[in-house]
C-alpha cells in the first residue's frame, strides 16, 4: 500500500514537471513567434497598405455575404 502511494505520488509529480516544462516551452515559442510577427509587420508593410488590404478584404467579405444571403433567400 505504501509503495503504491509512493509510486502514485512520484508519477503525479513527474507528470506535473513534464507538463510545466511543456507549457513553458510552448509559451516561449509563442512569445518568439509574436515578436517575429511584429518585426515582420513593422519592417515590411506600411499602415496605409495594411489598411487598404483590410478594406479590400472587407469589401470582398461583404460581397460574399450578399451572395450567401441571395442563395439563402
Q: What is the separation, in whole angstroms, between the first and last Cα of the chain?
A: 69
Count CA atoms within 13 Å of residue 66 on its CB side: 6
**What are φ and ψ of residue 46, in 5° steps?**
-85, 160
Hey, where are the domains in the chain? 2-72
Specify the pLDDT at position 30: 93
Residue 43 pLDDT greater than 80, yes or no:
no
pTM higher than the cut 0.85: no
Residue in 56, 40, 59 with CA at minimum distance from that of residue 48: 56
Give the model's confidence band at 49: pLDDT under 50 very low, under 70 low, under 90 confident, else very high: confident
Residue ranges with strand state E in the chain: none
Distance CA 42, CA 50 (A): 11
Amino acid at each position: 500500500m505504501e509503495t503504491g502511494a509512493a509510486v502514485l505520488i512520484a508519477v503525479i509529480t513527474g507528470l506535473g514537471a513534464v507538463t510545466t516544462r511543456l507549457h513553458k516551452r510552448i509559451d516561449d515559442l509563442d512569445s518568439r513567434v509574436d515578436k517575429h510577427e511584429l518585426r515582420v509587420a513593422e519592417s515590411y508593410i506600411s499602415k496605409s497598405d495594411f489598411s487598404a488590404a483590410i478594406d479590400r478584404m472587407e469589401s470582398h467579405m461583404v460581397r460574399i455575404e450578399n451572395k450567401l444571403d441571395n442563395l439563402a433567400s
